[in-house]
Amino acid sequence: MAVSREYREFVLEQLGRVAAPITSRSMFGGVGVYSGGLFFALMAGETIYLKVDDTNRGDFEAVGMGPFRPFEGDKATMHYYELPADLLEDADALRPWVEKAVDVARRARKTKKK
């Protein structure tokens, strides 16, 4: 799912307000988003998804957000859930969601190294 230049720039700017340093890489038509080298989010189409595990998945489910499905109609999901769009423009509301996703990415990295 292609990501428009405008959406990519907007999301990176908003994320940069609550975490640093934010970088991105194009990947498979989408965009991978990193904070301090940790892959914590991805963009597909005009949607951003944050990394989840058992510590933060409930936050997303409580507001009706679901998992990223890379292939339409496929039941396979990834460990990324859609961020409520209204949070992007509210730095105070966005910050804890991003911090938790970065923490998930940090734990996943440590597990992978073992």
Q: What CATH number does the domain containing 104 carry?
A: 3.30.1460.30
What digits encode the pLDDT tens for the residues 82-102? 999 999 999 999 999 999 999
First vs last C-alpha separation in the chain: 33
pLDDT of residue 75: 65
CA atoms within 13 A on the CB side of 48: 27
- 59-88 residue pLDDT tens: 999 999 999 987 666 666 689 999 999 999
The residue segments making up the domain with residue 22 are 5-113
Maximum CA pair distance of the chain? 39
Count up the domains in the chain and report the number. Answer: 1
The pTM (predicted TM-score) of the whole model is: 0.91
Residue closest to 85 by CA, chosen among 25, 28, 10: 10
Length of the chain as a residue count: 114
Strands 47-51 and 38-44: antiparallel
Give me the pLDDT at residue 114, please.
52
Tokens of 100: 């938790």
pLDDT in tens, 47-60: 999 999 999 999 99
- Residue 31 CA to residue 28 CA, distance in Å, equals 8
